[in-house]
Structure 1
């Protein structure tokens, strides 16, 4: 081969490689800015709602009831247009108001829709976002997803971009996320809170031949992003939702203090009862508590707590961990119920832990109550 021809081919090959590398980098940066969740479980079969006898057909083929002017083609079109207009007015109500509010580092949504109207929209939102709704309790206002993986975090390298469609399941981020949505009736509308919990896969041996899953810190940025998308689902424009996120101010300083001395361990929150109640609810969601019930008039949350580290260790110690941790089955551990009571004081709000009957904890339960208060304080900081 002539030197000149060889040099031309070499230059062409170098340009091709650099072009592919540039494309890979651009696509990688685009992928990192996206959210693309894939649930670890399988979607349940679709069921027809009990109040839906049969699917609605295409309106173009609906024959309206016979009217006086329906004998002509123009009369038929007028009747059909009137029927469609009535139907559209029922299906597409006026766009409700929805806004994002903030107190310190906490954010939540407020909408004019009632909880009954919001509930199916939120359930649909999480399913459209790639999650399976694992738990939903209208009584407590809780919707919780299963564990899912954000596939957008996987680097889009040359191999994955070329043959990733066929072998995509071989790639993993080593992280899983789940989200809890809590719906409450507020003084100015329906309040919606979103909290995140995460797990990460780490090596458990020096040889790096075995891995275990362990909890990782929650990500407020993910909560904010999903609330922004939720605003759009509830009727806001993309621009309005983005403005709501950018309009939030600087987070306030921590105003919670853990008091462990004496016969009455407690958490003191330098906020009014209404604000403290909201903060406690978010702290319970992020801390992995199960809220069986709540009574705002009494200032009581009825909670159960399973230590996520103990849960991960127990699951890692048994075969089939992946299906246990990220599948549909409910947690096998049975935890004791406690009351978390919030009381207004002259300087703010005091939170204490009581037993199931609302009495002071005693014996071994004191250690559990102390751990609950410590975790609550960590989430409130």
Structure 2
């Protein structure tokens, strides 16, 4: 099949779409991606991508076309410009294409507007559009404290409904998303399915858990408001000083909330516990994960966004470590059903503090059991082979 992929983000940005494209090529498909200049999450262009040759290149068998969209920057105005510019620039690149494709695949993160170029291609060439939805819109606006009563929310809800309803089929990452798209976005149930994200087989390289000098709880990923680090700081601040020498919290990544997060750690005099490493390349993560006792998974409370399954859950499970979850919804269900960790409701700092202390005091065999259960669940549910089997079947049905 000839597959046109529409996604504002692509390698070297930290999303799974490049792995999906590479696997599709390995299975004999021809893939072209129309994306933006890589600048997520910090808003700065990745080194080397000011080179014109990088705007149109072949990466591991995939034809990657990059549009000259404005960068995210570090303020709301530049972010809005970035969000609204991609559909327009991608449409221009579509007009330049010298061949037709069998089907269009949209890997839909935020913003939802990245669906628009795919619908333009659908109208021009009468091809079908398959969307893999990772972020709900307009629900995602609630992270910015834009609620249902806000006129902006209402207008965007109408726009989102039109975009989603024009797509031929939508797969989502979590069962809760199906209810949202059906009830809020008015998408018919027969056009919806759930396919959880895959984890990265690369992290199977992480060694089996071995006892650490300290309980090392690791978070890896985007440091944003949605991850609710305020709850984490409040929780750790409640723990008695006598635990400090037995506890370490490693924060790997960067993002818009990083500065405020560090400030909160400092204000609560928790510098001796927290270790901020900055963002790391994927190959560098193995050594950090080898030294990890448990991973942290957290999301804000009181939002449907909390019902998503963050991709880091699959990554954590692939790495073979237990998980401390301050999270609601499907992710909490998975951790519980897999017997892969300890969970409390999102935003519950008292329960989170209690869990951390329990794990510091826990028998080392418990952490080993959680680690094994976590990886076993990954192998049974979240490998890329299982994911691509389902995605490709739908692409072939629509193509």
Name the TM tier (shorter chain).
under 0.3
Q: Higher strand fraction: Structure 1 or Structure 2?
A: 1
Larger radius of gyration: 1
| Bigger share in helix | 2
TM-score, normalised to structure 1, is: 0.22
What TM-score results when the alignment is normalised by the length of structure 2?
0.22
